[in-house]
């Protein structure tokens, strides 16, 4: 009885050892490689390297950024500007974009040359704007300020972008006129009380029509300064209600800083009297007008001027206040000139 029991125990121990050996022999060392596709097994055999695990493959797909084409681009608001005629200036010129009335600054930048450039206004305008009043301005040393209203070039129906376009003519200063507007006695004529102004009209229109006309008013001391972007010949005229107009020719070779000194205007002919009406007292701000009987020769001249046959600018309209008692003094009339 003892010997069969020993044989049974030996067989059971041998079976246990064999089962443990088989289990350890075929147990995979890396759980990620427990089930390897046939392609990965072939790659291992051919290259001698371990194929990437499935966990690392999924991780690399998540971490890799998508291409730009796969990402939808948000619509933009763009402004294309074309600047021509700019003169090289230290520090460049300042370009500003405003919107609305009153104008609110949207964007500004410094430019230093001619050409076409683009501004992305998506963030500043917060979407496409087609109802607001937009204005582009250009200002800087050695140039006259200029502005333009951008026009809608592309409403975004095809590209998704809203594109505005503006062309600006840089206007370099060619000459600067300085002087003082005075009467016959040397007293200053101011622009506030007498609506005085000094105007320049070019004899011929140049490549930029805006350069053919300019106007300034004197300060309280009668002094004025007029920068001009035109180098063309023309006529400089000074007027003030109550004074005769005066003109001076400006030659094309007169460039740079031009000192005119005292520019004197005479009172001319006077008409004084009393205006009568249905009431003895006249309302405040009543005026008497003297209007020239001839029509202005050029529509672009100021309404206060008249081109006469002698080639000199004359007043087309004169005015003077009427006192509450009806008294009036109308000055600046020209003898033998019909009013």
Q: How many domains are contained in the chain?
A: 2
Does a structural domain hold residue 258? Answer: yes
Does a structural domain hold residue 314? Answer: yes
Identify the CATH number of the domain in which residue 157 sits: 2.60.40.10
Q: Are residues 190 and 304 in the same domain?
A: yes
Q: Are residues 191 and 325 in the same domain?
A: yes
Statement: the pTM of the whole predicted model exceeds 0.75: no
pLDDT tens digits, one per residue of 8-42: 666 665 565 555 554 555 455 544 444 444 444 44
Q: Is the peptide bond before 102 cis (omega within 30 degrees of 0)?
A: yes
Last residue of a domain, one of 120, 143, 171: 171
pLDDT at position 183 over 50? yes
Domain that holds residue 186: 175-333
Does a structural domain hold residue 164? Answer: yes
Cα→Cα distances 321→275, 283, 284, Å: 11, 11, 9
CB 228 within 8 A of CB 175: yes
pLDDT tens digits, one per residue of 71-93: 566 788 888 999 988 888 888 89
| CA triple 197-203-207, angle to 5 deg | 105
Q: What per-residue confidence (pLDDT) applies to 189?
A: 87
Question: Bigger pLDDT: 226 or 126?
Answer: 226
Last residue of a domain, one of 171, 199, 228: 171
């Amino acid at each position: 009885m003892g010997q069969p029991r020993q044989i049974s125990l030996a067989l059971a121990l041998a079976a246990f050892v064999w089962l443990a050996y088989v289990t350890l022999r075929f147990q995979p060392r890396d759980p990620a490689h427990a089930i390897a596709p046939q392609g990965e097994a072939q790659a291992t055999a051919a290259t001698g390297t371990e194929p990437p695990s499935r966990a690392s493959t999924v991780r690399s797909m998540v971490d890799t950024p998508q291409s730009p084409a796969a990402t939808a681009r948000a619509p933009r608001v763009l402004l294309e500007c074309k600047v021509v005629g700019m003169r090289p200036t230290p520090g460049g010129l300042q370009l500003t974009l405003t919107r609305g009335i009153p104008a609110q600054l949207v964007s500004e930048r410094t430019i230093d040359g001619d050409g076409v450039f683009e501004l992305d206004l998506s963030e500043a305008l917060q979407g496409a704007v087609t109802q607001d009043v937009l204005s582009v301005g250009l200002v800087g040393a050695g140039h006259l300020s200029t502005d333009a209203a951008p026009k809608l070039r592309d409403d975004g129906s095809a590209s998704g972008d809203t594109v505005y376009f503006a062309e600006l003519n840089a206007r370099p200063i060619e000459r600067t006129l300085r002087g003082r507007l005075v009467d016959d006695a040397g007293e200053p004529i101011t622009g506030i009380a007498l609506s005085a102004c000094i105007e320049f009209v070019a004899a011929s229109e140049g490549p930029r029509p805006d350069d053919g006309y300019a106007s300034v008013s004197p300060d309280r001391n009668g002094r004025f300064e007029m920068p001009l972007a035109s180098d063309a010949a023309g006529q400089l005229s000074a007027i003030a209600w109550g004074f005769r107009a005066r003109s001076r020719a400006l030659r094309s070779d007169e460039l740079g800083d031009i000192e005119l000194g005292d520019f004197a205007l005479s009172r001319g002919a006077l008409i004084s009297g009393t205006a009568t009406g249905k009431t003895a007292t006249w309302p405040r701000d009543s005026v008497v007008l003297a209007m020239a009987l001839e029509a202005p020769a050029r529509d672009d001249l100021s309404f206060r001027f008249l081109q006469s046959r002698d080639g000199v600018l004359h007043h087309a309209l004169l005015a003077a206040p009427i006192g509450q008692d009806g008294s009036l003094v109308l000055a600046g009339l020209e003898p033998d000139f019909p009013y």
